[in-house]
Amino acid sequence: MAFTQNKTIDITGKVLELSSKQPVNYASVIIVDAKTKKNINGTTTHDDGTFNLSTNSSKFHIEISFIGYKTKVINEFIIKNNSINLGTIFLTEDLAQLNEVIVEAEVSKTQFKLDKRIFNIGKDLSSTGASALEILNNVPSVNVNIEGAISLRGSQGVQILINGKPSVIASDGGNALGTITADMIERIEVITNPSAKYDAEGTSGIINIILKKEERKGLNGSASLNLGTPTNHSFGLSLNRRTEKFNLFSQLGVGYRKLPNDRLSINKDLINNTTLNSSGTEYRNETFYNIILGTDYHINDNNVLTLSGSYAYEVEDQPSATNFSFTNESNTNASVWKRTEETEATNPKYQYELQYKKDFDDYEDHMLLFSALGRFFGKKQASNFEDTTIAGDNRDNLQKTRTDFDEANYTFKLDYTKPFNDVFTIETGAQYVLNNVSNDYEVQNFENGNYVTDANQTNIFDFNQNVLGIYGTAAYEGEKWGVKIGLRLENTDLETLLKNTNAQNKQNYANLFPSLHASYKITDAYSLQIGYSKRVYRPRLWDLNPFFNIRNNFNIRTGNPDLKPEFTDSYELTNIYNIGKASINFGIYYRYTTDAIERSVSTFENNVNTFKPLNLGTTSAVGIEFNGKYPVANWLIFNGDINYNAFKRKGTFNNSSINFDADQWTSKLTSKLKLPADIDFEITGNYTSKTETVQGNEAEVIFADLGLRKKILKGKGVINLSVRDIFASRIEKYETIQPNFYLYNENQRGRFITLGLSYGFGKGEAMEYAGKRR
C-alpha cells in the first residue's frame, strides 16, 4: 500500500494469462482508495497486455480483473522516481463462475452465458473491410447465403437486433447491414433459445449486433480505410468524448462498391420437351453513407439518459444483362435474345431513440429501463428493361417498373430487473411495436408506341402489423446450479390490403411463449446447460407482398398475402468442457415447427418459373452442434464448429404428399499462426453439405477465407489483407425436380480481396467515476 506526498505517480505493467502466457487485452486496471474503497482512476490493457495510468493519491492499492479470471489485488510495490513498474502480472482462470465460461484466443473472445453466446469482434483477420453480413458468416452456427439470407443452425426465421433493439439497419426491406463494417462492431450475441424477456419473433433464435460505443477519458477514436477488388472502398471514423456527465459518441461511414452476381438458370418443360436457358451477370453498385450520433447524460450516479440517432443513405445503380435462348421440341434454338436492365434507386433510412436507465443502490443489477424507438425506410426505384433479338423468333420488347416504398416502425419498451438477494432475481416488462408499410408498384409494357400499365402486375400493397407483448421471468443462481423460467404473452393484429383490387387479409391472434433455462456445474471443468423456448415467425412484408422484380421474367419471385405465421418449440442441451488449454462445447437440440413456411415453392407454366412462400405442414429437426478451441502452441490456435441436423417434413402441396426425411451438416475450421515480424496469419474453411428440399435439392458449398495482419506505429496502426472465397468456389446450386418440369439455378459472387489500414488515437484511458456503475 502506498503512503506518499501529493505527487503524480505513473504506474506501468503487463498482464498475461497464466496457462497460455498470452496477453490479456481489455483487462481492467483500477486504482482504489485504501480508506474509502472508491475507484480513483482506471484503464484497460492494450493488445499486448501492457497498461499505464497515473494517480495523485497518497494511499491506494491496485486491482486487476477480467471476466472469467480471478481478480489480482496488489498492495505491495516500490515507488521509484514517482513511478511504479509492476512488471508482468499473471491472471488465473476463475473456474467457480457458474453462468459464464470464457473461451479466449487472440482470434476472438467467446463468452458462454446461461441463455446466449457472445462473440467479440475485432481480431478476425479475414473480416477486414467486411460488412456485417460477412462478419455474421464467420460466427459459429450462423450462415449467410449468397442472397444475404441469414440462418441459424440451418434454419431461417432469425430475428436480427442492433444494440438489443429492432433497427432499420437490420430490416428485411433494405440492404443496410452491408453499410456496417467490422470496424464498427464490438460483439455479436447469438441466442438460440431466447428467454421470455425477448420478443418471441424469430423461430430460429436471435442475433444481436452490438456496435462500438467506447467510454474513454477525453477524446478518443479510430479511423479505417479499406480498398478492395471487385470495387469495395470504404472509410470509417469513430469518435468518443467522455466527461464527468456526458459521453458523446459518433460514427461516420462512407463507401462505394460493386457487387457482381453471376447467374445461370435452366427451365425445362418435360411435357413439351422445351428448354429455356438464361445466364448473365447482375450488378448492384452502391454508394452508401451512414452516420450515428448519440450522447449518454449521467444525471447522477443512478440515472442515465441516452439520446441517439442514425441516418443511412444508399444510391443504387444496377446495370445488369441476361442472355436467353429457347430450345424447341426438336432440340434446336428457336430464339436467342438479350435482356438488359438499367435501374436507379435511392434508399434513405433513419432511426431515433430515447432511452432512460435508472439504477438502484441495493443491488448492482437492480434497474429500470425505458426506451422509445422510431425508424423509417424508404425506396424510390425506377427500372428500364429492353429485350433485343439476336437470332430466331422476334423477342424485341421494352418494359418499365416503378417502386415507391415507405415503412415506419415504432417500438416502445419497458424493462424492470429486481434482485432480491445475491441468488434470486425477477424481470418483468412490456413492449408495443407498430409497423406500417405502403408499397406502390407499377409495371408498364411498350405497346403501339406507348408505355401502357400492366394491371395484372400493378397495385398498391399496404401492410399494417401491431404486436403487444408482456413478460415475466424469475431466476435463481447458486454456487452449483441456476435456473431461469419465464412466460411471455403476445397479441398480434395484422392487416394487408391490395388497394386496386380491394383484396384484404386480416389476422388477430394471441399466444403464450414460455421459456426455461438451467445450468449445473458438475465439476470445475464441466458444466451442463438446458433450455426451452417457444418462438414465432410472423410473415414479413417481403413474404406477403405479391409484387416482384422482373429482371428475369422467366424466373419470378412473388410474395403470398395469405401466408400464416409458423410456431416453433425449441429444446437444447449444451455441455461445456474446459480441459487444460482446450475448450469444448457440445450441444443437442430439437425443434418442432407447425405451419412451416417453405420459402421457394415453384409453379411452372410456359417455361416461366414462379416461386413464392407457402405454409406446408410441419417440420421436426434433431441436431448436434460442436464448438471447440485448442491452442496447440503460443503461435498456433485452432477453432472449429460443426453442426448436423436431421429433419422430417410432413405436409401436402397441390393435393400430393410432400413427406420426406433429410439431413444437412455445416462445418468451419479456423487456424491462426503468429509469424515473425509481428505478422498474424489466419485461414478459415467452410463447408455446407448437400440437402434435400420440398421439390428438389441444394448442392454442397465449400469455400475458404484468409487474412494477414501487421501492426505498425507501436500498435496504434494495423495493416490488414483479407481474401474472401480464395478459390472462387462459393457457388450455390439449386435443383427443382418435378414430374412435369425441371429447374436448375446457380449463383456466384466470386472472390473479394480487401486491403485495410486502421489507426487508433486518443489517450485510450478507461474512466470509472467514484460510485458510478459502468
Q: Round to whole Å and give the CA distance between 772 and 754.
A: 42
Q: Does 193 map to a domain?
A: no
DSSP per-residue codes, 425-465: EEEEEEEEEEEEEEEEEEEEEEETTEEEE-GGG-EEEEEEE
Q: What average pLDDT does the segment 602-617 reach?
A: 92
> Cis peptide leading into 230, omega within 30 of 0?
yes
- Among 42, 57, 91, the domain-final residue is 91
Contact 180, 168 (CB under 8 A): no
Q: Which residue has the cell 475507484?
A: 39
pLDDT in tens, 557-606: 888 888 999 999 999 998 878 777 777 888 999 999 999 999 889 999 98
Q: Does 196 map to a domain?
A: no
Q: What average pLDDT does the segment 530-558 reach?
A: 86
Say if residue 374's pLDDT is above 90. Answer: yes
Instruction: Assign residue 225 the CATH number of its domain.
Output: 2.40.170.20
pLDDT band at 170 (very low <50, low <70, confident <90, very high): low
Which structural domain range is residue 300 located in?
218-762
pLDDT band at 94 (very low <50, low <70, confident <90, very high): low
Reduced to 3 states (helix: H, G, I; strand: E, B; else coil), residue 361 is: coil
The number of distinct structural domains making up the chain is 2
The single-letter code of the amino acid at 251 is Q
Of the ranges 237-246, 287-296, 635-644, which one carries the lowest mean pLDDT score? 237-246
Q: Does 70 map to a domain?
A: yes
pLDDT in tens, 7-56: 788 899 999 888 667 788 778 888 888 877 777 888 888 767 888 888 88
Q: Round to whole Å and give the CA distance between 51 and 74.
A: 15
DSSP element (H, E) containing 605: strand 597-605
CB-based contacts of 300, cutoff 8 Å, min separation 6: none
Residues 225, 80 share a domain: no
Residues 87, 224 share a domain: no
DSSP element (H, E) containing 658: none
Q: Does 720 map to a domain?
A: yes
Q: What is the pLDDT of residue 771?
A: 25
Reduced to 3 states (helix: H, G, I; strand: E, B; else coil), residue 362 is: coil
Say if residue 767's pLDDT is above 70. Answer: no
Q: What is the pLDDT of residue 152?
A: 73
Percent of the chain past pLDDT 90, that is, above it, reads 40
Of the ranges 246-260, 381-395, 404-418, 584-598, which one carries the lowest mean pLDDT score? 246-260
Task: Looking at 410-486, list the stretches that DSSP marks H as alpha helix, in order from N- to C-terminal side.
Answer: none
Contact 425, 365 (CB under 8 A): yes
Largest CA distance in the chain: 100
- Among 76, 91, 106, the domain-final residue is 91
Nearest to 668 by CA among 119, 43, 15, 37: 119
Q: Does 111 map to a domain?
A: no
Terminal CA-CA length for the chain? 26
Contact 409, 191 (CB under 8 A): no
Q: Round to whole Å and give the CA distance between 142 and 205.
A: 11
Q: Round to whole Å and give the CA distance between 291 and 251.
A: 6
Q: Does 48 map to a domain?
A: yes
Q: What is the pLDDT of residue 41?
A: 82
N residues, the chain = 774
Q: Round to whole Å and give the CA distance between 666 and 660.
A: 20
CB-based contacts of 134, cutoff 8 Å, min separation 6: 127, 144, 182, 724
Of the ranges 38-42, 243-247, 543-547, 750-754, which one carries the lowest mean pLDDT score? 243-247
Q: Per the structure block, which three cell numbers stand in for 212?
A: 462500438
Say if residue 772's pLDDT is above 50. Answer: no
Q: What average pLDDT does the segment 596-620 reach?
A: 92
Q: Per the structure block, which three cell numbers stand in for 38?
A: 472508491
Say if residue 764's pLDDT is above 50. Answer: no
Q: What is the pLDDT of residue 677?
A: 82
Q: What average pLDDT does the segment 740-764 reach?
A: 85
Residues 343, 492 share a domain: yes
pLDDT in tens, 234-272: 898 878 777 777 778 788 889 998 889 999 999 999 999
pLDDT band at 716 (very low <50, low <70, confident <90, very high): confident
How far, in Å, are 25, 110, 151, 602, 638 from residue 106 at the CA level? 9, 11, 26, 46, 11
User: Quick one: 599 exposed, middle or buried, by C-beta within 10 A (0-12, 13-18, 19+)?
Assistant: middle
Say if residue 322's pLDDT is above 60. Answer: yes
Task: Find residue 492's DSSP bridge partners.
Answer: 467, 509
Q: What is the pLDDT of residue 345?
A: 94
User: Quick one: 633 exposed, middle or buried, by C-beta within 10 A (0-12, 13-18, 19+)?
Assistant: exposed
Q: Does 453 map to a domain?
A: yes
What b/e string do you get for 194-227 counting C-beta neighbours within 10 Å, with b at 16 or more? Answer: bbbbbbbbbbbbbbbbbbbbbebbeebbbbbbbe
Please give the model's pTM, rounded to 2 decimal places.
Answer: 0.72
What b/e string do you get for 51-72 counting C-beta neighbours within 10 Å, with b at 16 or more? Answer: bebbbebeebbbebbbebbbeb
Nearest to 143 by CA among 701, 527, 708, 699: 701
Instruction: Assign residue 54 the CATH number of its domain.
Output: 2.60.40.10
- Among 31, 66, 91, the domain-final residue is 91
Considering only residues 171 and 685, tell me which one the structure prediction assigns the higher pLDDT.
Answer: 685
Q: Round to whole Å and give the CA distance between 662 and 172.
A: 28
Say if residue 103's pLDDT is above 90. Answer: no
Q: Does 305 map to a domain?
A: yes
Q: Give me the chain's average pLDDT, please.
A: 83
**Beta strand extents in 716-765 (DSSP E only):** 717-724, 731-737, 741-748, 752-762
Considering only residues 505 and 170, tell me which one the structure prediction assigns the higher pLDDT.
Answer: 505
Most confident of 586-590, 671-675, 761-765: 586-590
Nearest to 593 by CA among 654, 652, 537, 530: 537
